[in-house]
Structure 1
Amino acid sequence: MQLSNPLQTELAKHKGVEIHGNSLRITFMWRRMRCRETLGLPVTKANIRHAAQLRAAVLHDIKMGTFDYARHFPESKHAANFSNTRNERLKALAERYQALKAVDITPDTESRYATAMNVCLDLLGPDRLASVLLPEDIQKLRVDLIEERATSTVNHYLAALAGFLAWCESNGYSRPGLAAACTRFEMSDREPDPLTQEEFDSLITKGCLHRVDSAAITLAVYTGLRPGELCALACEDINLDSGTLQIQRAITSRGTFKLPKTGKPRTVMLLPPALEACRTLLQWATGRKPLAVTVHLTRHESRTVAITPLLTPGTLARKKQVNHWFVPTAWNTKWAAIQKRAEIRPRRPYQTRHTYACWCLTARGNLAFISKQMGHKDFTMLVEVYAKWMDDESPFELERIWKNIKKNRTPQSSTDFKALG
């Protein structure tokens, strides 16, 4: 088509606007593909400017992540090429997903998921269409997240987002591969940092100012309970006659009760120091009244039990109004003060659990038994986390095995294996 000079001049001003037959056409890049859309408009100066404005609107929506091909070009045959995904905005999808996810988790877990989702969606853009997200967007999100956050926090956020994106993919709201792009960051192995016997003695003799505190620390070290399990103990959980402790619940930092980490109760057989610590704690609990608490099993399932706190801030508190139960954050504060008075290197409260595991392993305890005591699903984790303490004993293990083989072996004849005797 031959154009007059004024039309050629006007057309040259607007990138991405061109002539196709007797009509105007705009071109743009979307999803790394070159798209061309004929507008059916005759070539005039006014229409050239209109086409340029339309293209600018398309580019703006693409940049903002809100471009909907069918909305801009409802008559286009190309719109069908992108109809394999249902155009929905991330914020609306996240609200529906979280409501469905909540059925299987407790309110406390739901709150943590919501925090993770909100952070990720704010960075991605809550009004973006899920259908336009690329793996590159998720990779950039990982970069943004790790800049100012701890690796463990970022990995939690990415895990929550991956579940959401997998749901989007399976329901046709987004392209495949987004969930797979939520690659967690590798974390440097945090080796257990157990207490030495000398440090433990310092905690008991110098760090603890009251028998209740020394008994609580002793119980933590000689049972390997998680801090949330320790704080949630009730007098009814202890059986002094059988020397056992029932772990039936844990308490969260918000003061809500839930099942232990594996979701199953367990029985812990008490070593003599732990049994004596239980006796002390039960003596100090004399006169306390049982309290009704709700233990959350799932979002919509819970049970109410009447139990008596074994450890309570009220024992040594100066304030009149205190909580009936320790929560992990309050226990952290007490633990830090005890370590400071004991003048030992500070550790997280979880290291009392590591101490129990390492002491049992260096005493050559049975792996399956130790794992069951600690509430692991199997002893795989025990081997992975505490391999160093197992390796430290390996030079003596062969000799111990051979002694037991010789002791238990029944020779087939009087001369059998004499050379090995």
Structure 2
Amino acid sequence: MDTRHRGITIRGNSAQIAFTYQGVRCRELIPIPPTKTAQKELALKLQSIKYEIKTGTFDYNRHFPYSKKAKEFLKKRPDRYTIKEALINWLRHNQANLQKSTLQDYNSAIYHHLIPIFGDLAIAELTASKVKEWLSELPCSNKRKGNILTPLRQTFEELYHDEIIDKNPLTRVKNLPNKAREPEPFTQEEITRILNELTGQAKNLIQFAFYSGLRTSELIALRWQDVDFDNNRVFVRQAYVRGQLKSTKTKSGKREVTLQPQAKEALFNQKTFTKQQNETVFHDPHTNQPWRNDQPIRKRIWIPALKQANIKYRNPYQTRHTFASTLLSRGEKPLWVAQQMGHKDWSMIIKVYGRWIPQSK
């Protein structure tokens, strides 16, 4: 086959064509039959490409839809680069730096919410008004809406910093205010009724929850090595989130909690079940294996106990509210309570539990 055409190199049953686009030397391999007719057609194709580049009408993706370089150039075309492609590329580049639970959240937001609504739009077509309209119809809490929006925000922030878009429409979309749930602590009489419906490991777990203030994710990650009976304290260092062991939610979350008498009693009772078996304190009584998430606790222990005790349902987090409100009601200092709860300062204590703080005379 004749190989004298400039920019064409024959390689067996394929040919490489070379051209310069946007200052970048590009080479693409094309399969062709070993005939003079095929070579002439290839020369015409290269001539057409060069003409389109010169006139500003060249579409790399149309000529070479499976080319990696085409995808790179497409990213620089906000009128052609889709939001679906941008989200997937952003996630792929950043997933190595994400916690597994965060990655699961982002995957859910991208594939179940963002791509079905915005995926087919070019990034240049997204407007603040489209996002706001979608948010207004999304049937979930404001906090959840903000979480779903996070991957889209970060994707467009990256596109803006990479100068692929001139302005970021997401800067005009503010997160909606979170409506904090009002604490509904249990009374001492309600606590007694709940615990009376429980036995063994289930009772020990819920009793410790009421009198330690730990989050459920922290409770199920507690190890015997974190328990210091001699000095009447436990150390909160880690948590199970969606089956994955990770450090506590915040730096202040890693803390030392003073054992209240009822919490200490629950731990002593629990020693019978797990002290000699495993370093994890609380186990699922059905399997005698460590818990990995809070859903089975809620379904198999918490909900049945409240029903049997004929007590209005509140979620298990209210055990934490009960702990804080009880300490404050008996006159403990808000700063100390904040430390027991794992808050960085006492502002949250004042804001959430202010009505349980006795007024000084």
Q: Verify: 1:312 aligned to 2:300, yes or no.
A: no
Identical columns (%): 23
In 1: Cα distance, 2:77 partner to 2:330 partner: 60
Match of 2:336 in 1: 369
In 2: Cα distance, 1:123 partner to 1:183 partner: 22
Match of 1:260 in 2: 248
Q: Where does 1:150-161 land on structure 2 (aligned, <5 Å)?
A: 150-161=141-152
Deviation at 1:124, TM superposition (A): 4.0
Match of 1:233 in 2: 222
Q: What are the Cα deviations for residues 178-209 of structure 1, in whole angstroms up to 9, with x where unaligned?
A: 2223322334331100001110111122x21x
In 1: Cα distance, 2:309 partner to 2:172 partner: 47
Q: What are the Cα deviations for residues 230-262 of structure 1, in whole angstroms up to 9, with x where unaligned?
A: 111122221111111111211123x21111111
Deviation at 1:283, TM superposition (A): 2.4
1:339 to 306, 309, 330: 306
Match of 1:17 in 2: none
Q: Where does 1:187-198 land on structure 2 (aligned, <5 Å)?
A: 187-198=178-189
Task: Determine helix, strand or coil for the equivalent of 2:305.
Answer: helix
Deviation at 1:229, TM superposition (A): 0.6
**Which residue identity does 1:383 align to in structure 2?**
I
2:321 to 354, 359, 375: 354
Q: What are the Cα deviations for residues 19-50 of structure 1, in whole angstroms up to 9, with x where unaligned?
A: xxxxxxxxxxxxxxxxxxxxxxxxxxxxxxxx
Match of 2:213 in 1: 224
Q: Verify: 1:182 aligned to 2:173, yes or no.
A: yes
Aligned residues: 288
Q: What are the Cα deviations for residues 305-351 of structure 1, in whole angstroms up to 9, with x where unaligned?
A: xxx221111x3x2xxx6743252111111111111122111110000
- Gaps of at least 5 residues in structure 2 are 1-51, 58-75
If the length of structure 2 is used for normalisation, what is the TM-score? 0.73
CA contact (8 A) 2:244 2:292 kept: no
CA contact (8 A) 2:185 2:325 kept: yes
Deviation at 1:86, TM superposition (A): 4.4
Match of 2:157 in 1: 166
Larger radius of gyration: 1
CA contact (8 A) 1:90 1:130 kept: yes
In 2: Cα distance, 1:350 partner to 1:250 partner: 15
Match of 1:53 in 2: none
**Which residue identity does 1:278 align to in structure 2?**
L
CA contact (8 A) 1:133 1:174 kept: no
In 2: Cα distance, 1:381 partner to 1:169 partner: 35
2:103 to 110, 115, 124: 110
Q: What are the Cα deviations for residues 360-398 of structure 1, in whole angstroms up to 9, with x where unaligned?
A: 1112211221111111122222222222323xx22xx1x
Task: Determine helix, strand or coil for the equivalent of 1:386.
Answer: helix
Task: Determine helix, strand or coil for the equivalent of 1:173.
Answer: coil
Q: CA RMSD in A?
A: 2.4
After the TM superposition, which segments of 4 or more aligned residues of structure 1 sit over 6 Å from their partners? none
**Which residue identity does 1:324 align to in structure 2?**
P
Task: Determine helix, strand or coil for the equivalent of 2:311.
Answer: coil
Deviation at 1:116, TM superposition (A): 1.0
CA contact (8 A) 1:123 1:141 kept: no
Match of 1:283 in 2: 272
Cα gap change, 1:104 to 1:379, in 2 (>3 Å): farther
In 2: Cα distance, 1:370 partner to 1:186 partner: 26
Cα gap change, 1:173 to 1:131, in 2 (>3 Å): farther
In 1: Cα distance, 2:332 partner to 2:288 partner: 41
Q: Where does 1:19-418 land on structure 2 (aligned, <5 Å)?
A: 74=56, 86-87=77-78, 88-144=81-137, 146=138, 148-205=139-196, 207-208=197-198, 210-253=199-242, 255-263=243-251, 265-288=254-277, 290=278, 308-313=279-284, 315=285, 317=286, 323-333=289-299, 334-390=301-357, 393-394=358-359, 397=360, 399=361
In 1: Cα distance, 2:347 partner to 2:156 partner: 30
